Amino acid sequence: MDNIHAPNLAAKSLDLQTREIFNTLVSTILFPATYAAFYKRVDQDIIAFVRDDRRAQCPDIEWLVRCYATWYLAKKHNDEAKLAESRYIYTVLLRYLRLSLDDPRRRTADTTFATALLLAVYEVLDGCNPDGWLVHMTGIKELLRLRGPAAHFRGIGRTLFLACRGFFIAEAFVNQEGCILAEPDWVNMSARAFEREERVGRGSTLVSIIDQAYREAVYVPGLVAQARGAIQLDGGVIQESLSKGALCTQIRRIRGALQTLTRQLNRSSNRVASRSGAGLVDSRYTASIARYNLQGVRAIEALLDQVLPTLDAANPTTQAVCGRSVSIYPSVCRRVLAGGGSLDDMFLSMGAMAICMDR
């Protein structure tokens, strides 16, 4: 064999192997229920993008899949050297990401967005810095804004948007601010994209319920933040605010919608397959998908139940808004990996699994 070409062939073989490991990780180990929830609904799933899309044949994605594959092999074989190698690749990826962000031609590219998102997920997997994913998400939110809603209406942009909505909601909860996805342009894009998917036969009962739940959940971080601002404590006595009535109305509407969705998800979690769009969601994961979303809806309901009494003018109280503080689980990485390695709860529970109600 020609010695000049052999290194290139070896590198190509390694790239193909790591992409296959990455695809296996996505579909069967790290996010199996998340993948099952979306891959038949979208134009292009993440596996098809990494394996077949010419845009993904670039250093950013090449190093990304190598980082994940190396992390997996390190965990599988309890190999500390491999784990250190994975972390080194992560630092290489950060440099590639910075170069992409500094290049106007690549700044808003799908590959740049995918790399940024999956680096945030890697922080959760690695667990060295429990808040690392949140630092990434704050920057990714600005990248999302720069890309604009149209970039997430179809294609791989839509796939990444659907899979990671919960992370944006969680980021808003932690930073005590409105969620970017609650802004009118994003709400409108989400509704139009869902209607498009319904028209082409990608809808199902379960998909519809999940989408409705997310449409309500995106408003909750902003309502909680407004509630904190509307309530002023003066010697332990809550003062009235002109905005309280409007906030109470919005919270009651969302809470009522979530209660309805809770009943629907309860029914769906006991079914083998969706009533309509049979085969759209892998029946092996239907119950899991419904259960994770149900956990998220219930957590958000509980949060609203704590906020509402503090705003109710007819029932004044000295209890602080959200009597128990809202925070990120300090052991989020270890917690999600304790149940067999899946991150599906973070992806499918609308950000609520990243919220802790301190007892």
pLDDT for 233 equals: 46
- Which of 311 and 155 is assigned the larger pLDDT? 155
| pLDDT band with cut points at 50, 70 and 90 for residue 236 | very low
Is residue 324's pLDDT more than 60? no
pLDDT per residue as tens digits for the range 128-161: 887 888 899 999 999 999 999 999 999 999 999 9
- Which of 63 and 280 is assigned the larger pLDDT? 63
- Using the CB atoms, write b or e for 295-319: b if 16+ within 10 Å: bbbbbbbebbebbbebbeeeeeeee
- 319 falls within a domain: no
277: left (phi over 0), alpha (psi -120 to 50) or beta: left
- 237 falls within a domain: no
pLDDT for 355 equals: 62
Residue 12, judged by CB atoms within 10 A of its CB (0-12, 13-18, 19+), counts as exposed
- 3 falls within a domain: no
pTM: 0.86
pLDDT for 338 equals: 38
pLDDT for 286 equals: 87
| pLDDT band with cut points at 50, 70 and 90 for residue 320 | very low
Is residue 239's pLDDT more than 70? no
pLDDT for 269 equals: 66
pLDDT for 276 equals: 43
| pLDDT band with cut points at 50, 70 and 90 for residue 313 | low
| pLDDT band with cut points at 50, 70 and 90 for residue 5 | very low
- Residues 97 and 92: their CA atoms lie apart, in Å, by 9
Cα separation values, 286 from 78, 156, 271, Å? 32, 23, 7
pLDDT for 335 equals: 43
Domain count, the chain: 1
- 276 falls within a domain: yes
Among 113-122, 252-261, 278-287, the minimum mean pLDDT is found in 278-287
- Which of 180 and 325 is assigned the larger pLDDT? 180
| pLDDT band with cut points at 50, 70 and 90 for residue 204 | confident
Is residue 311's pLDDT more than 90? no
- Residues 305 and 259: their CA atoms lie apart, in Å, by 11
Is residue 10's pLDDT more than 70? no
pLDDT for 318 equals: 38
- Residues 282 and 37: their CA atoms lie apart, in Å, by 8
Is residue 237's pLDDT more than 70? no
- 163 falls within a domain: yes
pLDDT for 183 equals: 97
Residue 288's CB: how many other CB atoms inside 10 A? 20
**What angle do helix axes 155-175 and 132-147 make, rounded to 10 degrees?**
130
To the nearest whole percent, how much of the chain has pLDDT over 90?
52
Sign of CA dihedral 306, 307, 313, 317: positive
Residue 34 belongs to what domain range?
A: 9-232+242-312+324-354
- 215 falls within a domain: yes
- 102 falls within a domain: yes
Is residue 331's pLDDT more than 50? no
Is residue 319's pLDDT more than 90? no
Is residue 235's pLDDT more than 80? no
Among 4-8, 24-28, 283-287, 324-328, the minimum mean pLDDT is found in 324-328
CA-based radius of gyration for the chain: 22
- Residues 323 and 306: their CA atoms lie apart, in Å, by 7
pLDDT for 305 equals: 87
Tell me what the pLDDT averaged over the chain comes to: 83
Is residue 219's pLDDT more than 80? yes
- 359 falls within a domain: no
